Structure 1
Amino acid sequence: MPEFHSLKQYDVDLDVFHANVLRMGCMVENQLDNAVTCFRNRDLILTESVIGTLQEVNRLEITLDSECRRLIVRHQPTANDLRVVMGTNKVVSDLERIGDEVRKIALSAKDLHLSSEPKSIAHQDMLNQLAGLTITIVHNALDMFARLDATYSDDLISEEGIITMKFRFLSKRLIDEMTDVWRAEPATLNVLWTIKALERITDYAKNIAEQVIFIVDGKDVRHAKIEAA
């Protein structure tokens, strides 16, 4: 972590906080991969495991929030120190939101498993590709946070924008197809919900990258385009 504080205990507590956030990130990343596998293979047992683990993620978010408050009360960090703590805590919030979207994917997979519809899903290949890109961008954002390295943040943020356009293209294509036949197949709706969840996950991964920039450089780039307009 950046050396902004003279108290050794503060550094230790901050390192522990950072490590616990990474543990939460690892859990979320693993369950995202599992949820995508559930959706692809309709694995009901793995689906239930994903949902159960995500409940633990929610409990961990509450624990980390309390840990953050104790850190602030105990050490009363200011300036750069406070920026590191608050930026890290915002990463916790984004991880919890990713967990919520992963749960939606798992529930869609469960719904598909319990349905009597054919195993094939509309545009499965494209969905698999986008899911893979989502997993990669989450992994890269967490790697940035683990190393507190904002070097590749611009690339990640740009990549998120490209992936979002692909998600919207596929969503429009599915909606147009349903409009043509004047009906919405349950499987197609599950694909749409999964696409939306994956799109939101990439957005939260971008938020994590932006928080790394804030922690390392003190720059708030969330609304840079708005301010530049």
Structure 2
Amino acid sequence: MELGSLVNLETLENFSTEHGSVRDLQGMTRLKALSISFNGKGCTMETLSSSLSGLSHLETLTIYDDYKLYAPTNDEEGFFLDCMNLKQLKLSIYMPRLPDAQRFPSYLTSITLSGCCLEEDPMQILEKLLHLYEVSLLNKSFCGKRMVCSGGGFPQLHKLELSGLLDLEEWIVEEGSMPLLHTLTIRNCRKLKELPDGLRFITSLEELDMNTHTLEFWKKLSRGGEEYYKVQHIPLLNII
């Protein structure tokens, strides 16, 4: 498909890098919302990122590879974004290493990762994005065992979802992390042994929605349980 003439387009969904040229995107300078089907055929992530760099009005971007066919090489610079107004980013591609915080748009408010199979803790990078309001780590986005939210990190974060992180065993939240967190959702993290002790310091928390998978875990977090002190300050608890 040749789409280069659509210079006034503001929304483009399901653009395929296999059946269209990313060069066509460079002329769509009015784009505000874009979703891309990407599998690396004829196009690297570096080339794609470069083609998006001139889209100064872009606010919402989704990049997905349903079959996870893309496999970055060791010498590939990979993903970066120079879209100054980008607010919402969704990535569902195989990406074992997250780019440095400097490669993300400065004013990003929402990020969703799915199926990335990240090998390193993503929180160490995401917590440095000062305007993040919402973070969702879904369905094997992170395949490591340990995750740490540092003190002072995520200063604007209100919503956090951890779902389908099947290998996660330990989550540490340091005092001073996520001071404005309002809603926490934890689903299908079957190996998570306990909730972070640091949750008790997040006085802004209004809602915890969690499935525990074991009766023992559920008892610990229930009223009178040995870990109830971590969540007793949260007004709305939905722990099953």
Higher helix share: 1
Q: RCO greater where, 1 or 2, for CA within 8 Å and sep 6 or more?
A: 1
Higher strand share: 2
Could you state the TM-score of these two structures normalised by the residue count of structure 2? 0.21
Could you state the TM-score of these two structures normalised by the residue count of structure 1? 0.21
